[in-house]
Chains A and B, each alone.
Chain A
Amino acid sequence: MMNDIATTDASVGTELAFRIQDLEVSFGTGDGVVTPLRGLDLDVPRGQFLCILGPSGQGKSTLLRCMTGLQEPTSGVVEALGTRVEGPSANLGMVFQQDAIPMWLRVKDNVSFGPRMRGVPKREWEPRVRHFIEAVGLTGRERAWPRQLSGGMRKRAAIAAVFANNPDILLMDEPFGSLDYFTRATLHNTLLALWEETKKTIVFVTHDVDEALKLADRIVVVSNGVIGADLMVDFDRPRTDALRTNQEADDMRRFLLEELQSKASQS
């Protein structure tokens, strides 16, 4: 049954956003060696909305950190747009679970932070910044300090900031993990709208199956340091509540939950 759903033809005929081969990461800790990734392969075509799903402690965050260049692999290859990833760069935007934006910059200064600091001329970033502030619904709050905003609003500012920096690829590490259900739902719609507008590649880490089903073109499950399952998700967009009663979606959800549960119980 699973073969009907799990079709993987990612690399066929498309330009790749990411090419990851035989990726291995291990740390020496006080208690010994931990190997979160052990020989992982993954290709991500451009423009794809990929969700990385997995139980905690199975390497999905390490994988994302390798993709952004925040973590150097012990061995293996991570290429973004045909070039080896050697460190953080402006072309690999990152949205974190925690509040990462500088709390001492007002909303507008925060959204323009990246281009300003990189010396992009103002006439170039100004319209982009205005556009993305409007797109995430923060118009009118440009002068507010982050602490004056709710958690959801701060996340909106973070998303606007990373889009305003105009990277080709966005990497998100459980960005909505700390938000309540309704805030999450509206932020999903905002993010999808921006994705459809900009056609950027998005790699989105989550442990929430429903979130993945709502957002992704493709879902991969990371377990034990390798890709455990790889499914294409081709439901019509915009995806609505109908997804909940859709038989195919239900099968997929059940499959993913079982996959996650069996892997979680092993760990």
Chain B
Amino acid sequence: MTSAVTRSIRLASANGLPAQRQRRAVRRAALSGMAWQIAGVAIFLLVWELIARQINYVAILPSPSAVVQNFQASMFDDAGLRYLGVKNPGYLINIGYTVGISIAGWMLGSALGVLVGLSSARLQFVRNLSEPVLFVFGAVPVLVLAPFFLVWFGNGAENKFVLVTFYAFITVAMVAQSAALSLPKVTEEYAAGLGIGRTGRFWSVVLPGTLPAILSGLRLALSTAIAVTASVELLGSESGAGRLIALRATQANVAAVLAIAIAVGLVAILLDLVFRAVIRGLLRWQ
């Protein structure tokens, strides 16, 4: 077992190989890795299907195929949900609604978060202003504000947008601040020695230097923002994936809950893949 660990570590670093062979070895390892990942997911689905058939009771554990069937049936419309008062009960449109609000809030909150997080690491007055908020919500779930926003902004899109913007702001600002505080000082000293002033160093050294950390913070914030939005929708909303989950759960329809949740997860994965491609382009220097 131990030797397998060392072997895989050695493979990952591919010590001492010439560049081309090294690249080929890494690519081969990545390919076989992907094959194993796909195999893992396939086995997982298979085991799930088998167990579900054994239990044979949809209210406890529906099989993957039942989940897929549920999704297909209600993708665009669902008579049952319409009867319960949902105006646009198709799964897709509700998922789009939830994801759309999440992305909008994520963009605004992240932009503010990067700006405040980075400048709070370099300007003491920004640090002083932001410290109380970051101190509290670095340790307290932002979700605790959801009931307030529901009362103040109603159960439309506004309360979720405000909450998710604040959530992304906190998450990204924390990451950006700690990245800027732990950025090795030598490059900034070097830039200062070239005669580059504070503002110039901020844009030319601090921002690019912390970009890798910030981008991974943005990835995390995006996928969790969607979950936060959906969970607020459980508490009361006109539409959205969370609303549908809540309604279906009261009917003990596990297949529908899983279908909606998994579909939201797949959208999150898709967004993450797109974002990762963008990151790869931005971080070619690494």
Chain A residues proximal to chain B, CB less than 8 Å: 68, 70, 87-94, 96, 98-106, 113-114, 117-118, 145-147, 158, 161-162, 165
A114-B194 CB under 8 A given contacts A94-B189, A96-B186, A96-B189: yes
* Contact call B194/A102, Cβ cutoff below 8 A: no
Cβ contacts under 8 Å, B190 to chain A:
94, 96, 100-101, 158
Cβ contacts under 8 Å, A146 to chain B:
285
* Contact call B193/A94, Cβ cutoff below 8 A: yes
With an 8 Å Cβ cutoff, the count of chain B residues facing the other chain is 20
| In the bound complex, CA of A114 to CA of B186 (Å) | 15
* Contact call B194/A90, Cβ cutoff below 8 A: yes
The answer, among B184, B193, B205, B208, for a CB contact under 8 Å with A88, is B193
* Contact call A145/B186, Cβ cutoff below 8 A: no
* Minimum distance in angstroms from B23 CB to a CB of chain A: 13
* Contact call B187/A100, Cβ cutoff below 8 A: yes
The total of Cβ contacts below 8 Å across the A-B interface reads: 75
Nearest first, the 7 A-B pairs at minimum CB distance are A90-B195, A114-B194, A88-B192, A100-B190, A94-B193, A104-B285, A100-B186
B209 at the interface (CB under 8 A from A): yes
Residue interface bits B11-45, CB-to-A below 8 A is 1, else 0: 00000000000000000000000000000000000
* Contact call B204/A113, Cβ cutoff below 8 A: yes
B286: nearest chain-A partner, CB-CB: A147
B191 at the interface (CB under 8 A from A): yes
* Minimum distance in angstroms from A92 CB to a CB of chain B: 6
**Main SS at interface, chain A:** loop
**Main SS at interface, chain B:** helix
Cβ contacts under 8 Å, B184 to chain A:
98
* Contact call B193/A102, Cβ cutoff below 8 A: no
Chain B residues proximal to chain A, CB less than 8 Å: 184, 186-187, 189-196, 200, 204-205, 208-209, 211, 284-286
* Contact call B193/A68, Cβ cutoff below 8 A: yes
Cβ contacts under 8 Å, B194 to chain A:
90, 93, 113-114, 117-118, 161-162, 165
* Contact call A118/B196, Cβ cutoff below 8 A: yes
* Contact call A102/B187, Cβ cutoff below 8 A: yes
* Minimum distance in angstroms from A117 CB to a CB of chain B: 4
| In the bound complex, CA of A113 to CA of B192 (Å) | 11
Cβ contacts under 8 Å, A105 to chain B:
285
Q: A162-B193, A165-B194 are known contacts; what are 6 more A-B pairs with Cβ within 8 Å?
A: A70-B193, A88-B195, A100-B187, A105-B285, A113-B191, A117-B194
* Contact call B189/A88, Cβ cutoff below 8 A: yes
Cβ contacts under 8 Å, A117 to chain B:
191, 194, 196, 200, 204
B192: nearest chain-A partner, CB-CB: A88
The answer, among B195, B200, B208, B284, for a CB contact under 8 Å with A102, is B208
A165-B195 CB under 8 A given contacts A88-B189, A100-B187, A117-B200: yes
